[in-house]
Amino acid sequence: MAKVQWAKGERFERKARIMVAARAEEVFPLLCPVREYEWIPNWRCRMVYSESGVAEKDAVFTTVERPFGKILWTCALYEPPRRIEYLLTRGAIASIRLELELTEEGGRTAIDWTMRYTAASPRIATFLRKKMSEKAFASMMRTRERQLAEYFAARR
């Protein structure tokens, strides 16, 4: 009888909270590959499947991310206007679960942003930890917070 083979995979997380001066009902639709063109400069994706044409459970799209190459994204959870999750995969090398949870706080929306990285080997884990260090992740979150602030400021 064959035995299960285990890779020496590794997992780590990055978490942040960003604040947006808008209601969750206004913010949530922007957490969509189609709508991200409106607020993330240089955003590019290719939609693979969506019955509605925007984010929905089981919608699929691809991006090309440096230095990772082509990434397949699947919307794994879709609960407007509070939660959305995407599963990102890079072949058999790595996966990332992106969890976004929105809560309203005094007329603003807090987005709790969690990225859970799982690498198929210690070598890939080391590479991912360098590319998405705590410092790099914090910088990305500041950028996303600023981009959303600019988007909503331009519409007020």
Helix (H) or strand (E) holding 44: none
Tokens, residue 1: 């009888």
Structure confidence by residue, pLDDT tens digits, 79-124: 999 999 999 999 889 999 999 999 999 989 999 999 999 999 999 9
Sign of CA dihedral 75, 78, 80, 83: negative
Tokens, residue 60: 């699929």
Band of residue 25 on the pLDDT scale cut at 50, 70, 90: very high
Three-state DSSP state, 63: strand
Structure confidence by residue, pLDDT tens digits, 44-83: 999 999 999 999 999 999 999 877 789 999 999 999 999 9
Structure confidence by residue, pLDDT tens digits, 131-153: 999 999 999 999 999 999 999 99
List the one residue out of 21, 16, 17, 23 whose CA is nearest residue 104.
Answer: 23
Task: Give the pLDDT confidence score for residue 156 in this predicted structure.
Answer: 81
List the one residue out of 59, 67, 70 whose CA is nearest residue 33.
Answer: 59
Cβ–Cβ under 8 Å, residues 100 and 111: yes
Sign of CA dihedral 155, 140, 42, 94: negative
Task: Give the pLDDT confidence score for residue 6 in this predicted structure.
Answer: 83
Overall CATH class of domain 11-153: alpha beta
